[in-house]
Amino acid sequence: MEVPALGHLKALLQNEAPTGTDANQGRTRYLNILKKKNMDIKRILTELPNTIVSLKAEDLGHFARQLVAEVRLELKREQEEKSKETAEDINLLTAEEVKQILEISDSTLYRLGKSGLLVPIWVGGQRRYTYDSLNRFLERR
């Protein structure tokens, strides 16, 4: 069975078609076609926004779970993008680079970290320092 043109389907579902038993049978027939073609609730909402639809609770629950899964996936993508951008924007210095810039020993750098004057962040078990924290330390010095 062919799926009718969307405009014709919209007309039938939005009561723009003739009223009476024939129109109701036509709407029922097209809704059954939608079910067979797996037209989901989201698609009905976007393509047929003025349609009145009755659903089983099971279908509504499935739709809700589908929406929640889509939102979670989108949030995860956004967080991954944001964390990539953040890591690229930070530009971290190694402990060796900081010691060379400040002309200090490893033990002095360790003491600065313990005292809170130049606190490292740990990345993969290694100390890293941000340019901002180094600049703040130099300004206080």
Instruction: Per-residue pLDDT tens, the chain, 141 aa: give them.
Output: 344 444 545 554 554 444 555 555 656 666 665 555 556 777 778 877 887 777 788 888 888 898 899 999 999 998 887 766 555 556 889 999 999 999 999 999 999 999 999 999 988 888 899 988 999 999 987
> Helix crossing, 6-13 with 21-36: angle to 10°?
130
Measured CA to CA, the distance from residue 134 to residue 116 in angstroms comes to: 12
For 48, 56, 79, 123, 139, the CA distances from 34, given in Å and listed in that order, are 12, 15, 36, 53, 69
- Residue found by looking up tokens 């499935």 in the block: 62
Query: For residue 129, what are the β-bridge partners?
Result: 93
Q: Among residues 90, 101, 102, which one has the least CA distance to residue 128?
A: 90
